[in-house]
Chain A
Amino acid sequence: MPAGYPHQNSVVFMLETDICGLRLENPTILASGILGNVGSSLRRVARAGAGAVVTKSIGKQAREGYKNPTVIKIEQGYLNAIGLANPGVDDFGEEIKTAKEGGVPVIGSIFGFSVREFVSVAGKMEDHGVDALELNLSCPNVGKAGAFFSTTEELTYEVVKAVKDSVSIPVIAKLTANTGDIVAIAKACERAGCDAVTAINTLKAMKIDIVAGMPVLGNKIGGLSGPCIKPVAVASVYEIVKETGLPVIGCGGVTTGEDAVEFLMAGARAVQIGVGVADRGIGIFRKVAGEIEEFMKDHGYRSLEELIGAAQG
């Protein structure tokens, strides 16, 4: 337990959670793509109080991604178009090793442009020592006319099944709400033997600067994060929990303990925090954990289990 943790003993007890076999001291997890491409940075976030950390989405080869601007603030949120920039899986072992010194579970986020690529990167990440995998399915399957894995049940099933069959660590699928029916996609994950899902990834979005007369992001189109996507994310979590037996990690717009409680009440077993780091700093994990605990005490909840799914009725 790091020094200076608020309400020392009780926090550990009250806020403990588990998700697909991973034990978390508190339910806050660093979301993929946030400070996750360098081991020393992941370790720093772990030591700052995150219950677990997810790496940047790692692929087969190094990618520089899109040109800047890659991240901009807009009303009620942030837009990003990083373009899957990452140093490539082969060189990432050293970073994972450093990240693990943080003492919390390290979840390796991966992507691929084909099922084979996913499987190959998954195996290497497992060898690097990650505690679980998170599949970033929001990327195009180049072989199948560029359809996103995350938007069709067949592709989702195929890739989740292939990765599940090839590794022995838990596999989490990260889903997008940019699809006709996120519940159907979650069910495909469940059929494929997926251990948990994260909901949701960013929502497709654009910002046009009217003085310059053009989109601001280098890639023009990007993904929306932050408080403005929270209601969409909460609804996704609620429906997936209701319709499947999968453990769910909520993601999208968690900035305060109250936001986290909303996700937990919808049925999430943990929450991920992304751009909240920009608004409240790296200390956000400890702050949110403390705020969840405070809420629980004020409202008579004795354990996280009592809170999880409380709004499902």
Chain B
Amino acid sequence: MTDGVYTVKIKDIVKETKNIKTFRLDLDLPALPGQYIMLWVPGYDEKPLSISYPGRDMGVTVLRKGATTARLHDMKRGDILGVRGPFGRAFKITGERLIAVGGGVGMAPIAPLAEKAIEMGREITVIIGAVTKSELLFVDRLERAGAEIIITTDDGTCGMKCFTTHALEKELEKGRYDECFTCGPEIMMYKVLEIAKRHGLPTQVSMERYFKCGIGICGACVMDDGGLRVCKEGPNFRDVEIEKFKDFGKYTRDASGKKVYW
């Protein structure tokens, strides 16, 4: 299925929060948690998106933020989208007692990860963070799956009034975890990595960069200094790889390849 663009109909649309929708496609796409597709919105653009529902009626969960995602949010059941993928290296579950931190729409790959972990008989605690209560993603879904959930909101409308990283710090003091996963804003992930490292926890981070090809040839997504490609060797990297990145938490590159500091 990785060959070419595969055009399919939208089968269902779920409004998750005020600004986030899940699109279920008429496509059976086996994939592992953390993998992504390139989603073509015909006539607009093509974007890398984490797969939030692998397998039957494959789904992606999308925050409305630019012209393309706005167009996507306006689309209806039966409309046509193009898919390339699945691509990228998945999260790899090796621990027994996991903790995952998802900020905002960063929950998209964390939810299938948690489901998979539980299916594999592991314990998982998920810290779900959002600006406010109405923007929290996949709380019910993960409750149903049997994950332990810690909620944080910036404004305190639900759960703890703090950032996910504060909740992580507190939780890790209990010392019962052996592996950490994170997806969300880069600054958050940078801190998660720092905290997890201090507690001796191996961590996997879901990296985001500007993508063009998605298949490891254009060079748009490479990380300094080793030249690893986020679209191919990533998007999920281990702490030992990330520690060698000069750009993580510092700069990204725009569509021209120019550095843009955070």
Contacts and interface: CB of A to CB of B under 8 A. Distances in A.
Interface of A: 33-45, 56, 62-65, 67-74, 78, 80, 82, 85-88, 91, 98, 207, 209, 211-212, 214, 216, 218, 274-275, 277-278, 281-282
Interface string B209-221: 0011111111110
B222 interface: yes
B227 A41 contact: yes
A35 B223 CA distance: 11
Nearest to A34: B217
Contacts of B218: 33-35, 37, 70-71, 80, 82
A176 B4 CA distance: 25
Nearest to B214: A71
B42 to A, nearest CB: 4
Contact of A87 (B40, B46, B47, B257): B257
Contact of A68 (B43, B47, B222, B223): B47
Contacts of A70: 46, 212-213, 218
B45 A88 contact: no
Nearest to A83: B255
A278 B217 contact: yes
Identify which of A33, A38, A216, A274 gathers the most chain B CB atoms within 10 Å of its CB: A38
A209 B82 contact: yes
A65 B219 contact: no
Contacts of B84: 69, 72-73
Contacts of B253: 38, 87
How many chain B residues sit at the interface, stated as a range, is 35 or more
Given A86-B257, A278-B215, A35 B45 contact: no
B7 interface: yes
A62 B222 contact: no
Contact of A214 (B42, B222, B256): B42
Q: Does more than half of chain B's interface fall in helix, strand or loop, or is it mixed?
A: loop
B227 A85 contact: no
Nearest to B47: A68
20 contacts: A34-B217, A35-B217, A35-B218, A35-B219, A37-B220, A38-B224, A40-B223, A44-B226, A63-B256, A64-B256, A68-B38, A69-B84, A72-B84, A80-B213, A85-B220, A85-B257, A212-B80, A214-B43, A277-B217, A278-B215
Contact of B227 (A40, A207, A218): A40
B222 A73 contact: no
Contacts of A218: 45-46
A38 B227 contact: yes
A38 B84 CA distance: 25
Identify which of A35, A86, A207 gathers the most chain B CB atoms within 10 Å of its CB: A35
Contact of A64 (B211, B223, B254): B254
B256 A275 contact: no
